[in-house]
Chains A and B, each alone.
Chain A
Amino acid sequence: MHQQLAWYVGGPLLGLCVVALRWLLNERLGATAAWSEAVELVAVGRRRLGTGGWLLLGLIAGGVVFGAFGPGLDGYGWLTDTFSAPVVVLVLVLSGVLIGYGAKLAGGCTSGNGLSGNAVLSPASLVATATFFGTAIAVSFLIEALL
């Protein structure tokens, strides 16, 4: 149970989640939209939890289930290998801001644009996905060169 799920099992299962939400509720699966709903509860006085909010709670619950049998993280990748804990926290907060603001501005993240949007060949999602994959690959190589 501790091993990484084979990509040809995990990938299709992930894709089926997109299909399932569409078939059950005719809704688009997107993690950024889910987070946004939660923030809107406070920020813009949204009254009740919709599909996105429940999806977010489900995502967290999925992590809880995995945490019960899966391996925990030892450190946090290149960040804890390179920086002291306070610096890692600062970098993660700043990255989180870029992730949240950027994904909202782009109309979705890896799930909303990358899976749901591309699966229906939405031109904006194709552009967004090419951009964030290209950027992330370039930045990863840049970090690698600087380390």
Chain B
Amino acid sequence: MRAAAAFAVGLVFGLVLSWSGMTSPDVLRDGLLFRDPYLMLFFASALATAFVGLRVLKLVQARALLTGEPVAWTTVRPARHHVVGSVLFGVGWAVADVCPGPIAAQLGQGVAWSLATTGGLVLGVWLFLQRAESAEG
């Protein structure tokens, strides 16, 4: 059930990202250069919807439908690594005009170029995990 629910949400997410042009580098670039307001409006309306939806869940003290646990979340205090990581991510995002969700959707669409981006993404995550592990060990 858990797996099916996560898969279904991912499928809708990937389909909407694709259909909105988030898998098209030109749409992303036009958004970041303010040539087309689509990206900003799309992002802002997604965020506003998520904000309201999560408030409602909290307000009605909802329990997770499949696990029964109370819906709850934690917030995180900002630290230097959030800024440093986001600068690195921002550079990659602007150059490749794609972020992790759309990279997965591009793979599904059969965009051959995404194999290169995926290779890099996997390598980047792997490097981070190695670093984290050696820091712990």
Binding site for B on A (CB under 8 A): 4-5, 7-8, 10-29, 31-32, 34-36, 38-40, 43-44, 49, 51-67, 70, 72-73, 76-80, 88-107, 109-111, 113-129, 131-141, 143-144
**A110 engages B99 (CB within 8 Å):** yes
Q: How far is the CA of A114 from the CA of B122 in the complex (A)?
A: 21
A54-B2, A96-B118, A99-B89 provided; 11 other pairs, C-beta below 8 A?
A16-B53, A21-B6, A24-B65, A26-B70, A34-B104, A55-B9, A56-B104, A65-B14, A66-B15, A102-B92, A124-B82
Q: A56-B10, A64-B109, A140-B94 are in contact. Are A19 and B104 (CB under 8 A)?
A: no
Give the nearest-CB partner of B51 in chain A: A119
**B76 engages A107 (CB within 8 Å):** yes
Mark interface residues in B1-26 (1 if CB within 8 Å of A CB, else 0): 01111111111111111111101111
**B78 engages A96 (CB within 8 Å):** no
Q: A55-B9, A99-B99, A109-B89 are in contact. Are A35 and B42 (CB under 8 A)?
A: no
Instruction: Label chain B's interface by main secondary structure.
Output: helix
Out of A21, A105, A113, name the residue touching B9 (CB < 8 Å): A21
- Indicate whether B46 reaches chain A with its CB closer than 8 angstroms: yes
B residues near A115, Cβ cutoff 8 Å: 43, 46-47, 50
Out of B19, B70, B87, B90, name the residue touching A10 (CB < 8 Å): B19
**B11 engages A67 (CB within 8 Å):** no
- Indicate whether B33 reaches chain A with its CB closer than 8 angstroms: yes
Q: How far is the CA of A143 from the CA of B4 in the complex (A)?
A: 42
- Indicate whether B125 reaches chain A with its CB closer than 8 angstroms: yes
Q: How far is the CA of A49 from the CA of B44 in the complex (A)?
A: 31
**A102 engages B88 (CB within 8 Å):** yes
A-contacting residues, B90-114, CB 8 Å: 90-101, 103-111, 113
**B85 engages A104 (CB within 8 Å):** yes
Out of A58, A96, A104, A136, name the residue touching B119 (CB < 8 Å): A96
**B18 engages A63 (CB within 8 Å):** yes
**B124 engages A31 (CB within 8 Å):** no
The 7 lowest CB-CB distance pairs between A and B, nearest first, are A96-B120, A58-B10, A62-B14, A63-B108, A100-B124, A135-B90, A15-B49
B residues near A138, Cβ cutoff 8 Å: 94
